[in-house]
Amino acid sequence: MLSRLPAVTRYLSVAALCVAGPVSALEFALPPPGEDVVGQVQVIKAQYEDSFADLGEKYELGYSEMIAANPGVDAWLPVKRKGEETDVVLPTQFVLPPGKREGIVINLAEYRLYYFPKDRDVVYTFPLGIGREGWGSPVGTTRITAKTPNPTWTPPASIKAEHAKNGDPLPNVVPAGPDNPLGPFKFTLGMPGYLIHGSNAKFGIGTGTSHGCFRMFNKNVLQMASMVPVGTPVRIINEPYKIGVSGGKVYLELHQPLNVSDGSLVAVGAPSAASIEELNERYNAVMNAVLKRPDLKETIQIDRDKAWEVVRAETGVPTEVGFDISAPVGQSLDYIP
């Protein structure tokens, strides 16, 4: 078994880090054609009684990505004593998901939604809660078919039965309001039974805790409500390994893989719990991700040792692992044909 590598900052140059102020939304200008990376990693000073759930809501980040970017930091109490501070990494740099940059793209493996407005060269990105084991979120393409402010919730029979079994019976209809699990707004998808909606609990954002729908922080779903029209295309993918180019350098962004189990997507285990064989499988999957990018596979070189360390660390932070062969070469690297 391999132990997890030290904190994510080991893999980040000083230039890649900046000290964070308050963030109202993760909005980025689209990179030039042929480039794929947006944002910058940030570092904040966590205060006593901060938690990753609180910080995630403030900085538009999900619980799982905060955990991955800060190995060894207590998620519920990063600072143990009043008057002390702890550095916390905010993973606010992203390799854009593969495929066409239009409409909404949901990447289940990173618990994150990307929105590419039709009339602007920007991208918005928001953390999501997705379906838990036994209640999987789907993969596929669909559209926004309806928008509903202040929705009521009619629990399906399956969910009512589950709650009744656990001694928590549900009413036939939950009215709009602070106790409604759909939050202040919902988007209906063309996939029957699936929604993008707000929430009455912030702790499920960035994890697999829903009954298959996509949960957002309420402030985020309201921001989406003002921007996203009915008819917007939605593409749902499961891509734990993202590779992209920025400034002639190749970046790799890895997330804990989700595998299909009984029709639902479940986490397969953190690197610290993975065997050498399992890590090799993930490494090979990373190399295959390069081959899935015909625009990249003939033009980039990968440092395999760096790629292996990224696989072992799995911080969810884009990490430099190679370069475009048209850029100046500083060292000899293995080529991925």
Q: Where in the sequence numbering do the catalytic residues fall?
A: 197, 213
Name the residue type at position 182.
Answer: L
Q: Give the span between the Cα atoms of 198 and 121, in whole angstroms.
A: 26
Using alpha carbons, select from 79, 29, 19, 33 the residue that is nearest to residue 52: 79
Contacts made by residues 194-198, CB under 8 angstroms, sequence distance 24+ = 194/137, 194/138, 194/142, 196/104, 196/113, 196/144, 196/221, 196/224, 197/151, 197/221, 198/222
In order of 42, 299, 321, the CA distances from 333 in angstroms are 29, 13, 10
Alpha carbon 247 to chain centroid, angstroms: 23
Q: Is-contact 293 287, C-beta < 8 A?
A: no
Give, for 208, the enclosing helix (H) or strand (E). strand 208-210
